[in-house]
């Protein structure tokens, strides 16, 4: 979370729509990472904190891709898998 803020990204808790599949998103134009308000609402304590850190780290990876700090992989599936690995490392 500190790294995201140090890079000038805003972290927002937001309504990401009715779909439960979208937990977070990166908006390059707004320089923002948005985390699902409805998903956070269902979590408490340690689980809530872990989800928040993991979601921010996942989207931070996408920012680093966009900024050219990490290699942009060829397929969306590869990029998402890499973002998941990055996020898991952030919480371990």
Q: Identify the DSSP state of 69.
A: S
List of domains in the chain: 2-91 (1.10.10)
Q: Identify the DSSP state of 60.
A: H
Residue 92: the pLDDT is 85
**Is 6 a residue whose pLDDT tops 90?**
yes
pTM of the model: 0.92
Q: pLDDT tens, 66-80?
A: 999 999 999 999 999
- Buried b / exposed e over 20-49, threshold 16 CB at 10 Å, is eeebbbbbeeeebbbbbebbbeeeeeeeee
């Amino acid at each position: 979370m500190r790294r995201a803020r140090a890079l000038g990204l805003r972290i927002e808790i937001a309504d990401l729509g009715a779909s439960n599949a979208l937990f977070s998103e990166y908006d390059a134009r707004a320089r923002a990472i948005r985390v699902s308000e409805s998903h956070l609402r269902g979590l408490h304590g340690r689980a809530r904190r872990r989800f928040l850190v993991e979601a921010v780290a996942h989207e931070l990876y996408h920012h680093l891709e966009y900024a050219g700090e990490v290699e942009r992989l060829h397929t969306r599936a590869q990029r998402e898998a890499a973002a998941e690995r990055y996020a898991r490392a952030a919480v371990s």
